[in-house]
Structure 1
Amino acid sequence: MKSPRLPIAVQQAIMRALRDNLLRANQQLARNYPLPNLSYSQRGTAAGTAWLEKWEIKLNPVLLMENQQAFIEEVVPHELAHLLVWKHFGRVAPHGAEWKWMMENVLNVSARRTHQFEVASVRSRTFPYFCRCQQHQLTIRRHNRVVRGETRYHCMNCGDPLQPGQFSAD
């Protein structure tokens, strides 16, 4: 699926949210961190990613168009917090105590690790795999890792290795 063309008003609202959150953080931390680069090139089911060394935030344009207000209120601060934590504390756990502190005490946003957006519009082709108790859908990336023999996945419920093929309940 091709990414939607983002209206200027949406891009401006995202940039305003980024600037406002960065200003709040710089004031609270007594720092002068620069505005990160912003791109709309995130794909898949992730709403966004923070690229620490590049000082860049990538946002998913499809999910953004479907969840504009949530991106402004949650996703932009979430990804900005990753960058700020990296600059302020160095390399730490991605959603650890420092990130939670940055979200809640500096940016005044609830520290949720993952989004709850509907992702049907961005979900890629999946492959059916089975265990003893259920069918699983593996992404093409995970399927290819299995095919290349790089890894095996196991069911979190019954612990059996996932196998391509037909479901057979015992």
Structure 2
Amino acid sequence: MNPIHSQLQDRVLARVNDCMQQASEQLAREFLPPAVRFNQRGRIAGSAWLERWELRFNPVLLSDNEAEFMAEIIPHEVAHLIAFACYGRVKPHGPEWQHIMQSVFQLVPRTRHRLNTSKVAPTFSYQCDCRTHQITLRRHNNMQRGKQRYQCLHCNQLLSLSVPHSTRKVP
């Protein structure tokens, strides 16, 4: 895990509190500040744990993308908590959450971030007759262990691990 420095953690906490305050003012209702953790892993930038009233952020993605976190990802996750507080358990990106994103935070309610995740989620090149496929680490490991096989949806050929150009044997 990539530890983040305390000043960045402080900026995230301040932004979370600003978003909570903004929601309180817009909705004329008080919200307790959530617990904030920096232990999210993988490709996920952040997550909201509703019953725990907790937000989790990916420290690697945060360190590399602070501006995007401040502008969109933190309000996105706070909106999940606010939707839960106002409406109870609803669809994660349903109309209630979308309403909060638009009316409280004046943001387009995007369900997925657009961050580069190559640092936190490597992919592996696999080949078929018609193209190269990028396979996740989990699927790659399952294929290497013989637990799973995947085939191309276009040509129906089983995928095989591409050999990097520098390691190919020349006849």
TM-score by length of 1: 0.79
Question: Paired residue for 1:134?
Answer: 131
Of 30, 49, 73, which residue of structure 2 is paired with 1:32?
30
What is the CA–CA distance in structure 2 between the aligned matches of 1:30 and 1:123, rounded to whole Å? 41
Stretches of structure 1 lacking an aligned partner (at least 5 in a row):
none
What is the total number of aligned residue pairs between the two structures? Answer: 160
Aligned AA (1:51): W
Instruction: From the superposition, tell whether residues 127 and 89 of structure 1 become closer, same or farther in structure 2 (CA, over 3 Å).
Output: same
Question: Paired residue for 2:73?
Answer: 75
Aligned AA (2:134): Q
What is the CA–CA distance in structure 2 between the aligned matches of 1:93 and 1:141, rounded to whole Å? 27
Instruction: From the superposition, tell whether residues 166 and 142 of structure 1 become closer, same or farther in structure 2 (CA, over 3 Å).
Output: closer
What is the CA–CA distance in structure 2 between the aligned matches of 1:50 and 1:34, rounded to whole Å? 14
Question: Paired residue for 1:111?
Answer: 109
What is the CA–CA distance in structure 1 between the aligned matches of 2:87 and 2:155, rounded to whole Å? 37
Instruction: From the superposition, tell whether residues 87 and 133 of structure 1 become closer, same or farther in structure 2 (CA, over 3 Å).
Output: farther
Instruction: From the superposition, tell whether residues 88 and 148 of structure 1 become closer, same or farther in structure 2 (CA, over 3 Å).
Output: farther
What is the CA–CA distance in structure 1 between the aligned matches of 2:91 and 2:126, rounded to whole Å? 31
Cα pair 2:150 2:159 within 8 Å, conserved:
no
Cα pair 2:39 2:56 within 8 Å, conserved:
yes
Instruction: From the superposition, tell whether residues 141 and 89 of structure 1 become closer, same or farther in structure 2 (CA, over 3 Å).
Output: farther
Aligned AA (1:135): T
Question: Paired residue for 1:85?
Answer: 83
What is the CA–CA distance in structure 2 between the aligned matches of 1:91 and 1:109, rounded to whole Å? 22
Cα pair 1:129 1:163 within 8 Å, conserved:
no
Stretches of structure 2 lacking an aligned partner (at least 5 in a row):
163-171
What is the CA–CA distance in structure 2 between the aligned matches of 1:33 and 1:159, rounded to whole Å? 54
Cα pair 2:55 2:77 within 8 Å, conserved:
yes
CA deviations on 1:129-149 (whole Å, 9 max, x unpaired) are 556643323323345677656
Cα pair 1:48 1:79 within 8 Å, conserved:
yes
CA deviations on 1:30-79 (whole Å, 9 max, x unpaired) are 22221111111111111111111211111011111111111111110001
RMSD: 2.6
What is the CA–CA distance in structure 2 between the aligned matches of 1:55 and 1:34, rounded to whole Å? 9
Instruction: From the superposition, tell whether residues 165 and 145 of structure 1 become closer, same or farther in structure 2 (CA, over 3 Å).
Output: closer
Cα pair 1:21 1:77 within 8 Å, conserved:
yes
Identity of aligned residues (%): 36
